Chain A
């Protein structure tokens, strides 16, 4: 158990809908990362937050947004969902945004868009 908690574990929704994925980082970790893992594109970095502020942005679509709240939990909002958004979405956390040690991953949220 990495200490990073993601909910829901599985989600099935229809095209055009909107979903919110939630992440609680490890206790004491200030930085939160979101990644998308799909079969055809591997593991893609989406976005990173540090202590509530956006720190780095990767290949995140405009239909997607995220935020980190004062209690440090984070949410990833996915809207106008398309079939191609079906993937495993990982949240990860670390102590600092440039930690040289470890990014701890949650077990992921499986999103299936039908």
Chain B
């Protein structure tokens, strides 16, 4: 079935760039998303990319999509302590289900 995989942890220093990676299996994905979950809160959409795009930039966020390898990444430039959170990759599949990865916990060291 459809699956989305992410590494569980990432630790970076404040001011560095963070790159969170995700792989998915569905061949009919239409949209791919990045969500952020802060402690005690629900998920909030950060950004999304349509499957026919390679890249999308939104201020400090850059999303790269390699559709051939089914690989999605989120780059956060100039990472701040406020960026510490769990980041979820999600895939809107051809079967109209949104499948989430397990989430990558980002630790930002001051």
User: Is the A/B pair a real complex?
Assistant: yes
Instruction: Specify the chain A residue showing the minimal Cβ separation from B31.
Output: A100
| A8 part of interface (Cβ distance < 8 Å) | no
Query: A103 contacts which chain B residues (CB < 8 A)?
Result: 33, 45, 98
Q: How far is the CA of A103 from the CA of B100 in the complex (A)?
A: 12
| B9 part of interface (Cβ distance < 8 Å) | no
Q: How far is the CA of A106 from the CA of B88 in the complex (A)?
A: 16
Q: How far is the CA of A103 from the CA of B44 in the complex (A)?
A: 8
Number of interface residues of A (CB under 8 A): 26
Q: Which of A40-48, A66-74, A75-83 contacts B (4 or more CB under 8 A)?
A: A40-48
| B10 part of interface (Cβ distance < 8 Å) | no
Q: How far is the CA of A33 from the CA of B99 in the complex (A)?
A: 11
Would you call B100 and A98 a contact (CB within 8 A)? no
Contact digits for B84-103, partner A, Cβ 8 Å, 1 yes 0 no:
00001000100111111111
Number of residue pairs A-B, CB distance < 8 angstroms: 57
Q: How far is the CA of A97 from the CA of B97 in the complex (A)?
A: 9
Q: How far is the CB of B105 from chain A (nearest CB, A)?
A: 11
Would you call B97 and A45 a contact (CB within 8 A)? yes
| A16 part of interface (Cβ distance < 8 Å) | no
Contact digits for A97-108, partner B, Cβ 8 Å, 1 yes 0 no:
110111111111
Would you call A43 and B48 a contact (CB within 8 A)? no
Q: Given contacts A2-B42, A90-B43, are A58 and B103 in contact (CB under 8 A)?
A: no
Chain A interfacial positions (CB closer than 8 Å to B): 2, 4, 33, 35, 41-45, 48, 55-56, 58, 90, 92, 97-98, 100-108
